[in-house]
Structure 1
């Protein structure tokens, strides 16, 4: 018998554990987020210490993690461009 313990991806944030057995397969309800999968996979010292419990959807790592995040990145990029253009027009006037 080997002693072990389990915790959620949320609880594991900021922790490093020597060996990880991660379950990133589809749960009975909802889905696993790419952020949650990343947290689960990044708790160990290296990939040689991680084992996956079962199959998972490859699309989990091939899609953008969040449409809201994508929209926010686009909004911030647009604001940065507008700020740069405004600043450049001020510099040209002086």
Structure 2
């Protein structure tokens, strides 16, 4: 069991959160709009894109170093 807490997409906006679980099921009250989903997912997706870009750059440097070593 993992301790956790919840807050709204508006509350999470602008925060850096290492991992999230986004429940996109029908809420018991109110509605879930595409805007709410965008807010909930966009930060995490942008952070993951940045992480993958850094890994790509690190890998390219590593391969260049390996190539230079063999020459």
- Shorter chain as normaliser: what TM range? 0.5 to 0.7
Q: Would you tell me which structure has more strand in proportion to its own residues? A: 1
State the TM-score, normalized to the length of structure 1: 0.42
Secondary structure of the corresponding residue to residue 21 of structure 2: strand
Structure 1 residue runs of 4+, over 6 Å off?
A: none
Rg (Cα) greater in structure: 1
d(CA) in 2 for partners of 1:29, 1:39:
19
TM-score of the superposition, structure 2-length normalised?
0.52
Task: Kindly state the Cα deviation for residue 17 of structure 1 after the two structures are TM-superposed.
Answer: 0.7
SS in 1 for 2:17: coil
Question: Which structure would you say has the larger RCO, counting Cα contacts within 8 Å and 6 or more residues apart?
Answer: 2
Report how many residues are paired. Answer: 47
Kept in 2, the 8 Å contact 1:12–1:43? The answer is no
**Counterparts in 2 of 1:7 and 1:43: CA distance versus 1, 3 Å:** farther
